[in-house]
Amino acid sequence: MGDGQLPPEVERGAVRRITIVGEDVLRRRCEPVTDTLFGTPELDRLIDDMFATNHVAHGAAIAANQVDVDLQLFVYDMEDDWGVRHTDHICNPVLDEQPPAERRLVDDMEGCLSVPGPYKAVARADHAVVRGQDKDGNPIVVEGRGYFARCLQHETDHLYGRLYIDRLAKRERRDALREMEELKDGVLTRRAELAERLGK
């Protein structure tokens, strides 16, 4: 999608600072979205800001604690393996448990906006079902396969204080953090330049 035809959420939203590995908010279980927040302009604004922030960072999805907000919420805007675009949000997501016999794990490359730069192979189930609520508190179910399933699992992990690098062997994790230190400045500069170009 070119800069000239931004999704409405991105048009409305403001870009927020993305938290980086090492910050406490990424390491604890987030607070649930409750009735005091459902259906409020505050929650609408946060969702729009998350879409805008995800867009300038060229992300597939972003969780609330990645914009320094301690809430069980993530948004996604991505194409799956079959070219189908998925754009939405979910509050209080819970992944369905899959019986081991039915679960098919796939190793594929994964990155993270809060670990700017590196990509590493991570094993994830190739099918995921997440249950939660929309911004008005209505129950919703999101189902994904392939890359979209990976995204749903990655973002749900975030809301429980887990990062993809936690799923790596110790040496791989060290490599990822070293690569991040080398690549981080360039990644953050590109994000800032795109935000400026979009007037965000």
Q: Which residues carry out catalysis?
A: 155
Sign of the Cα pseudo-torsion (151, 62, 38, 26, in order): positive
Residue entry with tokens 């079959």? 82
Nearest residue to 196 (alpha-carbon basis) of 56, 50, 16: 56
Extract the tokens encoding 176: 């990822």
Collapsed DSSP state (helix, strand, coil) of residue 168 = coil
Distance CA 15, CA 98 (A): 36
Distance CA 38, CA 137 (A): 6
Beta partners for residue 110, in sequence order: 120
Distance CA 121, CA 63 (A): 21
Nearest residue to 114 (alpha-carbon basis) of 169, 170, 74: 74
